[in-house]
Structure 1
Amino acid sequence: MPVRDLTAADFLSYRTMASGAFGGGVDPASPAAPQDFSPGQIPLGIDASTLPGGPRGVIAAGARIRRDQVVLGGGVAGCGGVAGLAVHPAYRGEGLFGTLLTAVIARCGVEGMALSMLYPSNPSIYRRYGYQVVARGQSLIVPLVDLQRIPAVPGRRLVPVTAESMPRLRRLHHQLTAGDNLMLRREPPLFPEAMPAHPWSALLLEDESGTAHGYMSWTRRPGDADGVGLEVHELLGRSRSDRQALLRSLGSWSTVSEQVRLRLRTEDPVLDVLPGGGARPDPSPQPLVMMRVIDTEATLRARRAPAGLDGTLRLVVEDDTVPAGTCRAGGTYLVSAHHGDVTAAAEDVPAGAAPTDVLGTCRLDIHSASLLLVGGRTLADARRLGLRAEAEPAGESFLDALLAGPRPSVLDAF
């Protein structure tokens, strides 16, 4: 069952199969429906005609790989976002899922992507191929009456975001998320430069000189049947007072609604400025985020090392979830940090001939590697999950320090 690149001629067949699997959306055969795959994506599929008795013109399984970029430890890494992976009902249970996902992983490697990301409905089937849950979407239901008590912040003003100022918001988003782990870089063609369609709205927070310090985006919900009148997509500010100013503005909606749903990053600093005790977790299902290391060297080299961290570690990553040679995750690497730079290279000398200043050897399975190398976790965290994460004390301290940072956050879905 060969996997091949799909073309515009395959688009209707793929969309018909995918919409049948996921439901909803525009009828793929409708004139209003898209007629080709979106730019910035690599569509792969398996023809039904390559299977016993399979007809021509039918896609038996397919997926799309997005050419995403994610922020990582102060740097940026290439990431293959896996979207729309589905198998036709006629061919489920015949091994097409594993064949296709293995091909997706291999293609991510060929394309030079350091990582792969997906949002699973069933994490266990992806875990078999080395993916690991690293984050979960988070939202709070916030009573607007709580926000009315926030005092005004001097030296700040709010201005509406327009098509003209949208590039400023994009640049500000990049600045405010540069220190996060795994936030997607919103760049074309995957993220259009134009303003999102109505009813999306946003405000920029400026100082008196016109310098942007934060922003808030939302969608007004009709009906308010559950008392939630706004979906607040993002609320980001440079400082604590900037976040207070944005929350105060949000409180002005109390005349027309009781509550808002506020989407958050993991350990979001906005939590520290929410007044009152009325906020509660959103009871609706929250999406999971799974990651897989595709190229260990590239993932490590994308990072910046903390100031003052200096040393070398031997890192062994064991990956038996895909055939050998599928990607460059498994292997033995010498990982060094010096003056803020991280270097990583496959060790090509016998262990006994390795540099004498190596702090020790750290052994990770692919799941602990996928959890740890995206930042914000320690080897002890991996062991608590039952993953393999072994190292001598000096090596463990070095790797924990190298990978420190906020826990991963992903606010964009695909």
Structure 2
Amino acid sequence: MPSPLPDPLPVRSLTTADAAAYRALSAGAFGGRFDLTPEEAAAPLSPGQSVLGIDSSAMLAATGAADGGGADGGGGDGVLAAGARILHHGIALGGGRARSGGVAGLAVHPAHRGDGLFGAMVDAVIARCDAEGMPFSMLFASNPEIYRRHGYQVVARPESLVVPLVDLQRIRPVPGRRTLPVTAATMPRLRALYTELTAGDNGMLRREGPHFPEGLPGGGWEAVLLVGEDGTDRGYASWTRRRPGPGTAEGRELEVHEVLGRDRDDLRALLRVLGTWSTLVEELRLRVRTEDPVLDVLPGGRARRASDAVPLVLMRVIDTAAALAARPAPAGVHGALRLIVEDATVPPGTCRAAGAFDVVAVGGQIRVLAQEPTEAAASADLDSLGTVHLDVHAASLLLTGGRSLADARRLGLRAEADDPRAAALLDALLAGPRPSVLDAF
């Protein structure tokens, strides 16, 4: 039987001195280089992240003492038993924005697997996200069940389409549009377009801060900027031209990262630009959002889903009140309800997802008040419409946006309302497109 975990668990923040140990742990779990150059070993950890770990020596000492055998003579020195990174991201929430902790590189050393460290590290990540003021946590997983045990919920399935270039060849020119190459000088205009055109989405990363440097991405990345006849930036398309390699089908080496435009004509003009690749490649791979407007513009009807598996996007609510307050209330929507969230997936006090929350929508804002429902309604001159009960999985799904209480119930999650008006109000407050994430980490 595994030895009991020490209480409290010796999770600590990692520093530059731990770079080699964390690199070894990560490379052993996910592949990659074990060795660091002297410059890499001396470099500080990248900004915009929190890195957590558990020393192998601490675990061996604790479990050795518990087993009556003492420590192992220092065999765990300089080795991490477990580690994880929390990337500090911003995400779009239907016109608002919230901070989100992106979980990456969570790994347990083979010598310590089966001892419960994976779950303990997930709990530690959740607690750190809460301590650092992140209302959400996000991660990618091919096996979501191991994270669902800790309150994470699948919210999106990243998707790419394979599109025959011959279909795009047939798109006629769009009057009043011209394209410019994206350079270091025009890259800020592209970033501004991305921020503007995805602001109403749910879940999309804001692409700000140290994880998204201001310059050109590099690595073969290219893009064109679409400009209207009045000089207004209308949209852009970005792609990478891949060289054929092992496992890459000939003629399918154009990877289109995104096609964003203000209207259908903009999208058609950008797809026509992509169609000019037809003399060099047969098909392109197009990354799309869950409810991407480009899906309604693609001609020909022969686009098909890419066959390779893509990790699912999971979200977890960390702070329910902050997650609600980060989102604007739709125009004309007002009312008050009591929201009760239950969370039995983490130890009490790990985060602020669970509790009773008085939610008031008025004046285009969502306010969360720690008062009795009648007092909350009176303070906003509104009548309380009832109570909604959610488990943490339903809360994580719904607070990310774009889904209804009925959607949560169809997934077997607890999403109950004692008054249909309360359900309708919460659905209205959390409306918008279904969540999408185009960036991987």
* Bin of the TM-score, shorter chain as denominator length: over 0.9
2:48 alignment partner, one of 40, 52, 56: 40
User: Match for residue 341 of structure 1?
Assistant: 365
Contact 1:314–1:334 (8 Å) recurs in 2: yes
Pairing 1:5–2:13 present: yes
1:115 alignment partner, one of 131, 136, 141: 136
**How is 1:11-160 mapped onto 2 (pairs within 5 angstroms)?**
11-24=19-32, 26-30=33-37, 35-52=43-60, 53=72, 55-160=76-181
- Could you tell me how far apart the structure 2 residues matched to 1:33 and 1:242 are? 44
**How is 1:15-414 mapped onto 2 (pairs within 5 angstroms)?**
15-24=23-32, 26-30=33-37, 35-52=43-60, 53=72, 55-223=76-244, 225-347=249-371, 349=372, 355=377, 357-391=383-417, 392-414=419-441
Structure 2 letter corresponding to 1:14 = Y
Q: How far does residue 27 in structure 1 lie from its aligned partner after superposition?
A: 3.8
Contact 1:27–1:33 (8 Å) recurs in 2: no
- Could you tell me how far apart the structure 2 residues matched to 1:241 and 1:182 are? 26
Q: Render the CA deviation track for 1:207-256: whole Å, top value 9, x for unaligned.
A: 12432110011000112634312000011001110000000000000000
Structure 2 letter corresponding to 1:361 = T
Q: Secondary structure at the match of 2:438?
A: coil
TM-score, normalised relative to structure 2: 0.90
Contact 2:374–2:384 (8 Å) recurs in 1: no
Contact 2:340–2:355 (8 Å) recurs in 1: yes
Contact 2:142–2:310 (8 Å) recurs in 1: no
Q: How far does residue 198 in structure 1 lie from its aligned partner after superposition?
A: 3.2
358-367 vs 223-232, greater mean Cα deviation: 223-232
Unaligned runs of 5+ in 2: 1-8, 61-71
- Could you tell me how far apart the structure 2 residues matched to 1:19 and 1:115 are? 27
Identity %: 63
TM-score, normalised relative to structure 1: 0.96
Unaligned runs of 5+ in 1: none
Structure 2 letter corresponding to 1:365 = D
Structure number with bigger Rg? 2
Q: Secondary structure at the match of 1:213?
A: strand
Q: Secondary structure at the match of 1:252?
A: helix
- Could you tell me how far apart the structure 1 residues matched to 2:251 and 2:280 are? 10
- Could you tell me how far apart the structure 2 residues matched to 1:352 and 1:301 are? 20
Contact 1:205–1:212 (8 Å) recurs in 2: yes
Q: How far does residue 49 in structure 1 lie from its aligned partner after superposition?
A: 1.0
Q: How far does residue 358 in structure 1 lie from its aligned partner after superposition?
A: 1.1
What value does the CA root-mean-square deviation take over the aligned residues?
1.5
* Number of residue-to-residue matches in the alignment: 411
Contact 1:309–1:337 (8 Å) recurs in 2: yes
Change (3 A) 1:231 1:353: closer
- Could you tell me how far apart the structure 1 residues matched to 2:226 and 2:287 are? 18
- Could you tell me how far apart the structure 1 residues matched to 2:237 and 2:138 are? 26
Q: Render the CA deviation track for 1:153-182: whole Å, top value 9, x for unaligned.
A: 111111100111111111111011001001
Structure 2 letter corresponding to 1:372 = L
